[in-house]
Structure 1
Amino acid sequence: MMLTLKNLTVLRGQCPVVDDVSASIGPGEFIGLIGPNGAGKTTLMRAALGLIAHRGESSLAQLDPMARARAAAWLPQAREIAWGLSVAELVALGRLPHGRDQATRGAGAVNEALARMGLETYRDRAATQLSGGEQARVLIARALAQESPLILADEPIAGLDPAAQIDTMEVFSAHARAGGAVLCSLHDLGLAARHCSRVWVMDRGRLVADGALADVLSEALLAEVFHIRAHFKMTLEGPVFQPLSTMDH
């Protein structure tokens, strides 16, 4: 397994923000982490990485920092780039966990990451001069250049245009198909349905469902967790998610 969580709990005061979560991620899986705002998705990923205090166990948190960085790449929600580096230089920072090994592999990994995110023509531009969406793609490329088998990404497609959203999800899918794994928090249930092999559904700090989205995304769950009326169905062209109204209407 690339990540194993056992009874993971994070408290804010006496209130559990993540409440007794046990789950695992194996090679080849692209897991969508879904749930309403405040469900605990970001806190779960940060605790899994050992970035915040927690109870229970995370296989990643038990590693020393350099080994952890080689095992998992982290894409937080915060995307502001404050360093006056070129795009290529910033993406190359993803190679730091590899130390001396980056001398032989580093340039190739950076070039591949730039190509996968469609950034080859941006490589010499200052990253701070790019648009917000372009900067988001640069940071994803940095995570790819890290070549860690597991990627944890917190709302990586928020703010991207539709084409960039689809491209990013396809990049993550390809990473999983190549033997890696991805845990990605999302609010777009349609994209989750099309690209994720499994979903974890969080609500009020608890993991309330884990499985193929078509199996777990019932109308009852949508009403209970997301407070919406919606239809989800499989068609010949793929899964379709259609929100209809909130539960107040």
Structure 2
Amino acid sequence: MTALLELSDLTVRRGATTVVDRVSLRVAPGECVGLIGPNGAGKTSLLRAALGLLPHDGRSSIASLPAGTRARQAAWIPQVREIAWGIDVEAVIALGRTPWLPRGGKLRPEDRAAVDRAIRRMKLEAFRIRPANHLSGGEQARVLIARALAQETPLLMADEPIAGLDPAAQITTMEVFGRIAAEGKAVVVSLHDLGLAARHCSRLVMMNHGRAVADGPPAQVLTPDRLEEVFALRAHYTRSADGPIFQPLESLR
């Protein structure tokens, strides 16, 4: 199966410090990959370098593409999610269609349909004509997630997209990501909530000190030894009739 993202020995340095250290990774259609690790593990730098937004050594199949092709291949949700523009929510989300439009072109019926799908997925119907900069921080975050969804690329990459969302919106967002993967696309999402990562990601990549130290199904990655070594954490992890349940119990620092 053709990969939607391939990284080979990807390395990012900040001065003399290596923040991503020779990470190799392959993401196939149908995968929702959770990128986990403590603060400073290199998750954001890995995502940004993979997209060609940071200088790096090694190879990224996305970063090597021309800018226009890259924007039609991968959508990006960064950590910073504040909307300063006084335009309505629908117009912000419609910006996600820009890579597909001819220069100076207006939205076509298929573009408007993509915007409508993104609005429905993020449950933003009631916000459609409201000024985006009048929304709460969590609501603005949902709008910017919808903008990336409207791009309808084969690959979606997101850096802590559920941070700051209320619990229901966090679950909704992760369910949306899972459905996108089930449609034959792929999602790579960095997360701090290991419980949601365990429940909604088909695969986890655990990072520590810039390296990928584990890669596999959640149950194989979230082992007691790794949780203690990487997160200094003791947790309870089990499978129930409702799916995987992960509950942090104790800090070991």
TM band (smaller chain): over 0.9
Task: Report how far residue 240 of structure 1 moved.
Answer: 1.5
Give every structure 1 segment of 4 or more consecutive aligned residues whose post-TM-superposition deviation is greater than 3 Å.
Answer: none
Q: Specify the alignment match of 2:87 in structure 1.
A: 85
Q: Specify the alignment match of 2:57 in structure 1.
A: 55
Task: Report how far residue 243 of structure 1 moved.
Answer: 1.5
Separation of aligned partners in 1, 2:56 and 2:13: 7
- The answer to whether the aligner puts 1:201 opposite 2:203 as a matched pair is no
- 1:214 corresponds, among 208, 212, 219, to 219
- The answer to whether the aligner puts 1:243 opposite 2:252 as a matched pair is no
TM-score, normalisation: structure 1:
0.97
Matching residue's letter, 2:142: R
Matching residue's letter, 2:43: K
Aligned partner of residue 101 in structure 2, secondary structure: helix
Aligned partner of residue 160 in structure 1, secondary structure: coil
Matching residue's letter, 1:25: V
- 2:168 corresponds, among 146, 163, 167, to 163
Query: Which segments of 5 or more consecutive residues in structure 1 lack a partner in the other structure?
Result: none
Percent of aligned pairs with the same residue? Answer: 60
- 2:27 corresponds, among 8, 18, 25, to 25
Matching residue's letter, 1:214: A
Q: Specify the alignment match of 1:72 in structure 2.
A: 74
Separation of aligned partners in 2, 1:141 and 1:242: 29
Separation of aligned partners in 1, 2:118 and 2:241: 33
Separation of aligned partners in 2, 1:216 and 1:135: 33
Q: Where do residues 88-127 of structure 1 align in structure 2 (5 Å cutoff)?
A: 88-100=90-102, 102-127=107-132
Matching residue's letter, 2:60: S
Q: Specify the alignment match of 1:7 in structure 2.
A: 9
Matching residue's letter, 2:129: D
Q: Specify the alignment match of 1:40 in structure 2.
A: 42
Task: Report how far residue 60 of structure 1 moved.
Answer: 0.2
Task: Report how far residue 149 of structure 1 moved.
Answer: 1.0
- 1:128 corresponds, among 130, 133, 139, to 133
Query: Which segments of 5 or more consecutive residues in structure 2 lack a partner in the other structure?
Result: none
Task: Report how far residue 237 of structure 1 moved.
Answer: 2.4
Aligned partner of residue 239 in structure 2, secondary structure: strand
Q: Specify the alignment match of 1:145 in structure 2.
A: 150
What does the per-residue CA deviation read over 1:5-39, in whole Å, with 9 as the maximum and x for residues that have no partner? 00000011121100000011010000000000000
Separation of aligned partners in 1, 2:159 and 2:187: 11
Deviates more, 1:128-137 or 1:96-105: 96-105
Task: Report how far residue 82 of structure 1 moved.
Answer: 0.9
